[in-house]
Structure 1
Amino acid sequence: METALTRLTGVEHPLVQTGMGWVAGPRLVSATARAGALGVLASATMTTEQLRQAVREVKSRTDAPFGVNLRADAGDARERVRIIVDEGVRVASFALAPSRELIAELKDAGVVVIPSIGARRHAEKVAAWGADAVIVQGGEGGGHTGEVATTVLLPQVVDAVDIPVIAAGGFHDGRGLVAALAYGAAGIAMGTRFLLTSDSTVPDAVKARYLAAGVRDITVTTAIDGLPHRMLRTDLVTALERHGRARTLLHALRRAAGFRRLSGLSWPAMLRDGRAMRHGKDLTWGQVLLAANTPMLLRAAMVEGRTDLGVMASGQVAGVIEDLPSCAELVDRVMDEAERVLRRIPGSLRPLPGG
């Protein structure tokens, strides 16, 4: 199935595996790429040296195109861009809008730039700055999310920009791909669905929690870092929502100390990153620290398997996912179903009586 996305990135299928922290590592990305979709490495939870090693590991496993997701507001964003360019990575994606200068630097080096956005005006801005495509995430998506549903946001963005639009938030099967194409998208991006594959390195106990979740077990909370965050409801989430400022600050300090040791960041650097994540919001110091060390909360679940103390970011589709296929099986299933749906549509359309 050829679309503007496949032509732009060189992949076989118009499917993107999103860059999920602690999840989208070399194993998942290379499996996705070998299956013909666009795998995206999550670099925000890696040091620069780990990022370079991860890129080289993916390249050793497959010759297929893949991407790297970057935090545009990171203090070492330019160093990471340099790694992407030096290592010949095909695509750079961004969780926040990159600057005009970063986009130009990547494009001059032949890298495809695909920011993720959650509002029409953001899409218009990055398109004017030269972005090659955008990923549009509606409110159904996991992690930091907005309030507007994909079915409302997607057509707005498609109408507003003249670059390929990739739909995210609420997708897990071939029917969703066809629906996105009907709205004018060039493909779909999926996070939770790729997290729940046999190629994902997420511990089995955590995967089991996702598979057991119903749609109502997935919530949006601001308790983690002061911003709307979609995740599985756990005792930790409930406790943080009930904490006062003093207990939240104490909890944040403990978590921040662990993340500082793991990442090698200094306290000033962590606070600077926390402030950068505020996006103009009026956050307490506890929330600033939680924002800075949210990766540690994610790591507790996604790496250590701590379903009691970790954060499990999740799209609403977790409530309807029931199995753990390989990436190859998942991609084949999505594309086969999309083809069947497309073949059925002409036969399902009948003229109105008297028409």
Structure 2
Amino acid sequence: MTADALIRTPLTELTGVDHPIVQTGMGWVAGARLVSATARAGALGLLASATMSLDELEKAILEVKERTDRPFGVNLRADAGDAPKRVELLIRHQVKVASFALAPKQELIARLKDNGIVVMPSVGAARHAEKVAAWGADMVMVQGGEGGGHTGAVPSSLLLPAVLDAVDIPVVAGGGFFDGRGLAAALAYGAAGIGMGTRFLLTSDSAVPQAIKEKYLTFGLDGTIVTRKADGMPHRLLRTEFVDGLETEGVLHRTLGTARRTVSFKKMSGLGWLGLIADGRRMKSSSDRSWSQMILAANTPMLLKAGLVEGDTSAGMLASGQVVGMIDDLPSCDELIDRIVTEAVTRLVQLDSQRVDRTPVQH
């Protein structure tokens, strides 16, 4: 990428990355391998810590630092019982960015900012952006309904301008972005950059099994579904036979499956039963989900692991944005980012050349 093809925005200025592109913190996907490849390519990679124990997170941070000296970030669960410990871990290792899937407490934002860490919560509504901006967040990422995983109902084309109108901090656009046209469009709206999940999952640097990545490439624009049957919250997933089964199976069958997966998640996370219950209570207090839905939420980590790590689509879920239907290759992060920025620059130059002629029309 040549110097004159760089796009400078508040995102690049705040974080120190070369390009206004964020690789989002996808559970089981955004590990050290993908994040370091993203960082080396000049974009902002985010480690997904929700599926890592505290020790695993520290190991992942150190591995990224061994692979690259470029800036990167960590995505945190604001409602996790050990969130303050994870914040201290980021401070100790001088991680550049802390992102959050839910609004972090005001004191956590202050602690991070006091130590020079950029705070970027994700939001799904203008009012959420207003709240975290008032608490001192440096920027926010919006995720439109096109996005994969937990998502809302408002498309990016409406959510983005609503949030831009509501706050005066930089806004990163997520949900439905995969190429240079999308980056140029987001910048035209006034965004500071774009966030992408599915597009980064489908790269050669992603640790997702090759067979699973190739399976993603077979899906069209109608290949995803938003369901509440996995964990009680709207979740955009690929339309696999397993997900179709979730939609049709009875409550008893689903509850028994949830109990088995809760035991598995307990072993994997290192949480004791008291810790797991305490986490559930915190999640319950920060959402309007019922206790039955909170029990279903125990499904998510292990179901995603089965599909994205173990490659077992018969017993696991595959989170995906609608953009899966627009993707047909598996480039490296370096190739992908170069391609996106080059195309965006070309589009922006073309738009700049289409100046409005204000000469009065003669009749």
Q: Is the 8 A contact 1:277 1:292 kept in 2?
A: no
Q: 2:269 aligns with which of 260, 263, 269?
A: 263
Partner secondary structure for residue 224 of structure 1: coil
- Structure 2 partner of 1:325: 331
- Structure 2 partner of 1:65: 71
Q: How does 1:79-158 map to 2 (within 5 A)?
A: 79-158=85-164
- Structure 2 partner of 1:283: 290
Q: Is the 8 A contact 2:19 2:42 kept in 1?
A: yes
TM-score of the pair, normalised by structure 2:
0.94
CA distance in structure 2 between the partners assigned to 1:191 and 1:277 by the alignment: 24
- Structure 1 partner of 2:234: 228
Amino acid at match of 1:283: S
Q: Deviations over 1:125-181 (max 9, x none)?
A: 000000000001111111111111101010111111111000000000000001000
- Structure 1 partner of 2:253: 247
Mark the runs of 5 or more structure 1 residues left unpaired by the alignment: none
Mark the runs of 5 or more structure 2 residues left unpaired by the alignment: 1-6
Q: Indicate yes or no: 2:309 matched with 1:303.
A: yes
Q: Indicate yes or no: 2:43 matched with 1:42.
A: no
Amino acid at match of 1:12: D
Amino acid at match of 1:120: A
Q: Indicate yes or no: 2:243 matched with 1:237.
A: yes
Q: How does 1:176-195 map to 2 (within 5 A)?
A: 176-195=182-201
Quickly say closer, same or farther: Cα 1:4–1:324, change in 2 above 3 A. same
Q: Deviations over 1:71-121 (max 9, x none)?
A: 000000001001000001000000000000100010011110000000000
TM-score of the pair, normalised by structure 1:
0.96
Amino acid at match of 2:66: S
CA distance in structure 1 between the partners assigned to 2:19 and 2:346 by the alignment: 15
Q: 1:341 aligns with which of 336, 341, 347?
A: 347
Partner secondary structure for residue 349 of structure 2: helix
- Structure 2 partner of 1:24: 30
CA distance in structure 2 between the partners assigned to 1:297 and 1:225 by the alignment: 10
Q: Is the 8 A contact 1:9 1:65 kept in 2?
A: yes
Q: Indicate yes or no: 2:342 matched with 1:354.
A: no
Partner secondary structure for residue 154 of structure 2: coil
- Structure 1 partner of 2:219: 213
Q: How many residues align?
A: 354
What do you get for the CA RMSD once the two structures are aligned? Answer: 1.5
1:256 Cα offset (Å): 1.2
CA distance in structure 1 between the partners assigned to 2:46 and 2:356 by the alignment: 42
1:350 Cα offset (Å): 5.5
Amino acid at match of 2:218: A
Quickly say closer, same or farther: Cα 1:282–1:28, change in 2 above 3 A. closer
Q: Is the 8 A contact 2:258 2:298 kept in 1?
A: no
- Structure 2 partner of 1:170: 176
Q: Deviations over 1:198-219 (max 9, x none)?
A: 0000001211121101111111
